[in-house]
Structure 1
C-alpha cells in the first residue's frame, strides 16, 4: 500500500482513471470501464461503473437520453469554454450548485460547492435565479426544487445520476414498515406527550419518503446535523425509525449513548423487518437496512495499514462508514467537517481520509503542505456522481441560452408540500459547532 502526493493529486480523478486505463499509472481503479465516456453506459441499465456498480437499480429509475454528438465529440477544453460562455450569457439568471463528490471538471465551474446541507441552503439564497443547475444526484435536485420558488427551474444535467442508497428505501416499503410498527406501538402519546415513533430520513432519500416524514411528524437530517435531529426527534417521540442509511444512524445514536441492543436493523423484505416484537418494543432507534457503497469500501485494515506506514497519521472518516471503521478512526464527520479539519490542520500534517475520492484528491491538491490520501488506495468514485460529465452540463446550459429547459426536475405539489415541512424542520435544526 503506497500513498504518494505526486502527479495523481494534481490531476483530476477522471484524468487519473484515464492514466490507469492506459497503464501510465501504478494506481488501480475499481472498474476498467470508468475510463469510457459517460454516455456509453447511460444506455445500460444500472448505476454505471464505480462504487455503486453492483447495487440493484429500481426498474423505474430515470434514464438519460442520448447526448447530441457535438457534446460527445467535443474536447475537455471546448466544453469548458462553452460552459463558461453560457454562464457569461445567463449571468444572474443561473446558479450552478456542485457537490463535494463531483468531478473537478464540473466543480471548477460551479457557483457553490458544498455538501447536501449547504447546497440545500444555497438553493434558498437565490430566489431571483431563473434556473438552478444541480451538479449532484437526483434526490438533491428534488430537494432544491421543493425549496425553490415555483417560477424557478431546477435542472439535473444527467437524469441517470441517481443514488443507490436512496433507492434502498422506497415509499411502499417505508409505509409497510410503518403499518407494522404502529400495530405494535399504537399511536397514543406517553405522559410526557411523546408519540410512540418518529420517522427520520437522511437527505439521501426520495421526495416521497421526505413527504412521508413530513406527514408523520418526522424530519430530514444530513450528516452535518444528524445528532441535532435525533435530539429533536427524542424530544417528541419515544423511539425513532431512521432510514435509509443504517451506518449514519448507528454511529450517531451510539455517540449519543444508545446501546447497540436498542438499535435493531429493519430488513424491508422480512416480517417485522426480521425482528421479534420484544426487540422492537425495547428499541430506541430502528435502523433501515441501507448503506452507501462508497463508504462501505473503507475498512479497519486500511486504517491499520495507514498507521503502520505513517505512525503520526490523523484518520478522519465520514459517518456513513461502518461502525468499526468510525470507531477505529480518530474522528468522523460530514464532508464539510472533513474539509474544515484539513484546512485547520498544522502544516506538515499527514491525514488519511475515508470518503469519496474526488473530495480527497481535491483536498490533497489544495493543501500540498500536507500529506493527504484516501484510505482506499483503489480509485473508485461514486458511480452516479460520476455521470455528471461536462458534456451534459454544456448541453443543459446551452439549452437555457436558447430558451429551452432540459432535464427539469419537478416534484408534484402533493409530495412537495409535506416534504417541505420535513425539510424546513431540518434547516432549523442547526448542527452544533464542533471545535
Structure 2
C-alpha cells in the first residue's frame, strides 16, 4: 500500500516480521504487539486489546477509501478535527488537520474548541491526553483500539504504586530539614492517564522529549531524587547531559524487591530509572552510526533521546521529533543526514527535502507496529460513523483520573525550556 510496505516485503529479516506489510485487521488478534519492531513485546496486564473493523471497510481500494474520508470530512466540516502523529503512515497523514508529536497534537486540539469530535490518529495514551485537555462535551476517538504503546504499558499502575510504597518506606527516615521531598515522580508523556494522575497526586509532573531537562530541573528543586518512568533511555540521556553520574541512576526492575537494588544504591541515587524502553528506538546501534559515517563521510547523525545512551553519545545531535525536523530544515542543500527515529517520519522528511540526502540509520525498515495499526479503513469508519451520529472507539478518562492527571500536565505546561 505504501513504500514502507514494499520495503518490508522486499527486505525480510528475523528482526522485523514481514507480516507487518499486511493490513492491520489481519494480525490484530496476535498475542503480542507485533509483528514489527515490537514483535517480542507481550501485551501487559491492563493494556488495551485489539479493536475490530467492520468487514465492509476491510480490503476497500485505496482510492475509494480516500474519497470516502474526504467526503465524510466535508460533510462534518468544523464538527470534527483529525490529528495525525508524525509516525503515522502517509495515507493517514494526508487527511490530518494537524500533524505533530503527542504534545503538539494535544495542544492543537485546544485550538478547535467548537469541534464536536477529535479523531486522534496516534496511540492510546495520546488520545487519553487529548480527552483530559479537551472540553467535556468533546468526543475523542481512537480509530483502532489496538494502537497502544508497548513502552507506555511497561509501567502499569499497580507496579508503580508498589514501587512508590517501597521507596516511601525506605526513605521514611531521611531528614527533612532542607524542605525537599525524598523523591519526585516524573512520567514521560508516553504513559497512561492513570500514571499521569499518580504524578499529579504525589507532587510530580509529566515531561516530553522536548522539555525533559527543564522538568528534571523542576523536580530537583523540589526533591532529593526522581523516579522516572517509563522510558529508561530518555531519563538516562537527559540526566547524564545534566551531569548526573551513571552510578547515581539505578534501574528499577518492577519484578524484583527494591527493583533489584540495594537500599544503599537507592539512598545515594539521583534518578531512579524504570525498566522500560521504546522498541523502535532500541533498534538503533553504534555500529549503524559507524557504517553511515564510513559510507557517507561528513554525514550528520541525529537520533531521538529514546535511543540507548551509547547511540546518543555517538551521534552528532539528539532531540525530539520536532528537534529532528528543525535540524533537517536548517541543513544546507547537499547535506547528508542519517536519522535514528521511526521510518515513516524519516521517509517523509526525505520526500520533503529532495535537495538533501536523508536516510534511516536502521537498514531494516521497521515502523512502530502499533502506530501502523491506524489504517485509512479505520479512519473512514470513524468519520462515516460520526456522519451517521455514532461515535465508535471513544476514549473517555474518568473524572477523578482526569483531574489528577491535569495537575501534572499543567505543571508540565508551565515548565518551559529556557
Residue 116 (structure 1) shift: 1.4
The aligned runs of 1:236-251 (5 Å cut-off) are: 236-251=222-237
Equivalent runs, 1:14-413 vs 2, <5 Å: 14-18=2-6, 20-21=8-9, 23=10, 30-186=16-172, 190-413=176-399
- Residue 221 of structure 2 aligns to a residue whose secondary structure is helix
> 1:26 Cα shift?
9.8
> Does the CA-based 8 Å contact 1:117-1:224 persist in structure 2?
no
Paired residues of 2:253 and 2:274 also in contact (CA < 8 A): yes
Is the Cα contact below 8 Å between 1:17 and 1:379 reproduced in 2? no
Bigger Cα displacement from structure 2, 58-67 vs 422-431 = 58-67
List per-residue Cα deviations over 1:204-224 (Å, max 9, x = no partner): 111111110000000000101
**Structure 1 pair 388–252 and aligned structure 2 pair: CA distance change class (3 A):** same
Distance 2:32 2:193 in 1: 21
Go from structure 1 to structure 2 and tell me whether the alpha carbon gap of 1:167 and 1:28 turns closer, same or farther (over 3 Å shift).
closer
Q: Are the counterparts in 2 of residues 352 and 374 from structure 1 also a CA contact under 8 Å?
A: yes
Change beyond 3 A, Cα 1:347–1:19: closer
Whole-angstrom distance in 2 between the partners of 1:182 and 1:48? 37
Cα deviation for residue 29 of structure 1 reads 8.1
Q: CA deviation at 1:18?
A: 3.0
Q: Is the 8 A contact 1:187 1:196 kept in 2?
A: no
Distance 1:136 1:201, change over 3 A: same
Any stretches of 5+ residues in structure 1 without a counterpart? Answer: 1-11
Does structure 2 retain, via aligned residues, the 8 Å contact 1:20–1:29?
A: no
Q: How many residues align?
A: 418
TM-score (ref. length: structure 1): 0.93
Query: CA offset at residue 60 of structure 1?
Result: 3.7
Aligned pair partner of 2:406 in 411, 417, 420: 420
Q: CA RMSD in A?
A: 1.6
